[in-house]
Structure 1
Amino acid sequence: MATDLATPPVKTARTPGSPPGVARRLWRFRWLYLMLVPGLAYFLVFKYVPMRGLQIAFQDFIPFLGYNGSEWVGFKHFVDLFTGPDFNRLMYNTLFLALLNIIFVFPAPIIVALMLNELRINILKRSVQSLIYIPHFLSWTIVASLTYILFSVDYGVIAGWIHEVVGGTKVDYVAQPEWFRPVIILQTLWKTTGWTTIIYLAALAGVNHDLYEAARMDGAGRWRQLWHVTLPAIRPTIVVMAILMSGNLLDMSFEQIWLMTNNLNRATADVFDTFVYYVGINQGAYSYATAVGLFKGVAGVLLIFGSNWLAKRLGQRGLF
């Protein structure tokens, strides 16, 4: 006689006094969910609640009249933005810096992580890691101050050394428009490369070492192991970081740009973030500044969805 060999479902023990179903699972992991509360509260208070203020981008907002009393003007401020004299300059400056970030800043932590992964002396590896992590904990104010100390024309140590070696007229690297972008990229590389390296080092730690053994048995050298084993193993991490970076292409670091901006390089330094501060806070054009910020935010969302779609079309997992 045939017997039912199916394995009966295993019943999990129920905690006394806990509610059934979903509520029971919530109760079981209640301390983990409790740890989510501060993060959720942060995003709710500082990210989602302020979105109510986006409506002033479609109003001639007057603070004394408030949201309900201000006149609705539709897309007037967006039309002023796209047809105004500042839009082309702001877009060019922002995209130029974004392109430089893609070329120099994005691959830098990948290269550093690969180099650190090849070090076999642990004490040297840890020392280098500690040294390159430190700049992340410095504020942009300190970074800007160090930049002025090193590169200003009056008392810059490096600027004076370059003048002595090369000769000629002293160059004010922190004031000349043509040097603004190189200085910004150097600052970003120095401050962010080491910290971002952590992500790629974590990905490298998960690479199966049996793959390296198999590659060596097939006669692959260090470069071929890097190309055929290491890079394919961390490719999903690189793709995710690229998608996240695409959403911030128009989002420059306001503190960094603002601290390095002066009257001599303003035409080159102005980006959307600093422009929003200038017209919104200094000139009181709240509606216009909100329209600029909303345009930048919507463009960032579209870039994330577009890069995620492109990654999936190219056979990668994507972000979502």
Structure 2
Amino acid sequence: MKSILKTSVLYLSFIAVLSMFTACKNETHPEQKLAVNTSNTVQKTAEPLSQEFKDYWYAGEAEISSYKLEQARYSEMREGTAVLIYVTEDFLPEVQVKADHQNAKNIPVLKLNATKNFNTGIYPYSIMQSTFYPVTNNQHALKVSSSIQEWCGHVYAQLNNREKFEIMSHSYFEGEADEHFKLEKTILENELWTQLRINPKSLPIGDLKIIPSFEFTRLKHKPIKAYNAKADLNKDNYTISYPGLNRKLSINFNPNFPHEILGWEETFTSGPKILTTKATKLKTIKSPYWQKNHNKDAILRETLQLN
């Protein structure tokens, strides 16, 4: 009996040691997996907001930057303007729209409304993309939307970040009229413009899977999906190359807070040519622009060099 008891004790001790060893192996495995995937996802821990960030972004104003735009379209270069409007908002996580009232369940986001306006011959183009990115910098954008208007018609696409990325797209083109589908979560090019403003050092680098900007996929009639990409980060520049799309995006920014975007270049095939769209910063102001809707406030457009 004593022999059996002793054997049982030894067996249980062996199992305990084996369990500890197995537990240690499993404990390191998620870290190893995270190390492999970090470049293709946003970081998982929330970033604390510095006082500098709070003073700049929670002053009751938006940051508005205007740019001289040289846009490639239909194998020719067009002159126009681009505007980046950054502002912090409270966001409703379920409905996924701006919250009208403060609530503990709201998610603070840094919103970017990016606009472009240029003419192609007789008719104009108007493009707007909106991105809602959590200021905690620890998850993907909660929502991305894009609209393009020109005299042939208009196109709208929207992504909602839920269990998966839920996407709907509407277009006047026959092959992409009304689409609803889901994608596995991965990096969104649209969100990188806001992630950069929070912490450029957190931008993903290396060989990645990225969903290109909605502007690009809609203008080029490419499927909205993840494409192979390579990203590089320097002190004041972030570059993404898509070999399968023959496209390269390069964003120049101030390495010092608040990391304003100084300009960008986007090289891609336009018709039979390879052309480069360029944006060069003209002016940045901070303003509660939603209150500046009287005729007398039009002077601010002169300040931004938009007229």
TM over 0.5: no
Range class of TM-score, shorter chain: under 0.3
The structure with the largest strand share of the pair is 2
Max Rg structure: 1
Give the TM-score normalised by structure 2.
Answer: 0.23
Q: TM-score, normalized by length of structure 1? A: 0.22
